[in-house]
Amino acid sequence: MDNVGFIGLGNMGLGMANNILEKNMELNVYNRTKSKIDLLNEGKIIKHSSIASIASNCNVLFTCLPDINTSMDVFLGKDGILENSKPESVIVDHSTVDIDTSKLIWEKSLNKSVYFIDAPISGGPEGAKGGSLTIMCGGDSIAFEKIKPILNMMGSSVVHMGGAGTGTTMKLVNQLLTSVNTVASIEALLLADESGIDVKSALSVLKTSFGYSKMVERNVPYFAKKRFENSSAPIRNLEKDLKIILDLSKMLKLELPLTKKSLDIFSETNKLDLVEPDMSAISLYIKELGKNNE
């Protein structure tokens, strides 16, 4: 049996790790904040005190990390994953990073005879907890097939997109649509609300109409209850991803006007006096724009 490990028990990683633990009955874990390990479900939990320890003891290792710098440090840094992984191991990054980062880790892994899979995720904390994530994978097809049964423990849609970096690229495509559709959905909900239409009634109509999207459904409860703070899907994540997307668009010589405008809206909302604002909090900023135009 593979020795399976997981690094990064944040908003997404905790639910993912719990699904592996529940179905595999055993999991090696490392997390910088040790108390997060106590939130794991019952099962055989093998705790590690360092990245070096978990990497040297696992032949399949998953990570879910907050940003590019952390991924670079965890995978390529001194006492990191690659320095300590055994040949033929499969290492997987579920983080949303840029394509250069994924390809660099992949290139470095070749020198160590280690398989690297970039496997970003979509579905939010609810999907992570419920094991219903979409997982987009790039890298060696044989390594993908080897770990696919474990990926299926965490996701209901697990797709091999192609070579190194293609999983990351697909996630960026998804994040572009998530961001632009969120802006569009919030504008539509504001229009309905300010016109006296109950947004939950509007949702029931939109579900069978052309204007429907996942982001409409996702944002209605937050908008209706004004649940704009302490989000498990904070704006800072989308802001980070949109900057990566626009850097890629420059390299490809593509103009993405809606993406640029969406980044402006999210960035300005993030400046408001809110604690970890939810993506739906852009409604506050957009309403302020209207007041400023009076």
Count of CB atoms within 10 A of residue 257's CB?
Answer: 7
The catalytic position among 36, 108, 148, 171 is 171
- 196: number of Cβ within 10 Å: 6
List residues bridging with 290 in a β-sheet.
none
Tokens coding 188: 């539509």
Amino acid at 146: K
Q: Could you give the CA distance from residue 5 to residue 60 in angstroms, rounded to a whole number?
A: 6
Q: Which two tokens stand for residue 254?
A: 């593509």
Whether 34 is catalytic is no
* CA atoms of 156 and 1, how far apart (whole Å): 23
What is the Cα–Cα distance from 135 to 122, expressed in whole angstroms?
Answer: 7
The SS3 of residue 156 is strand
What is the rounded CA–CA span in Å between residue 109 and residue 71?
14
| Tokens representing residue 127 in the block | 């999907």
Tell me how long the chain is. Answer: 294
Active site residues: 171
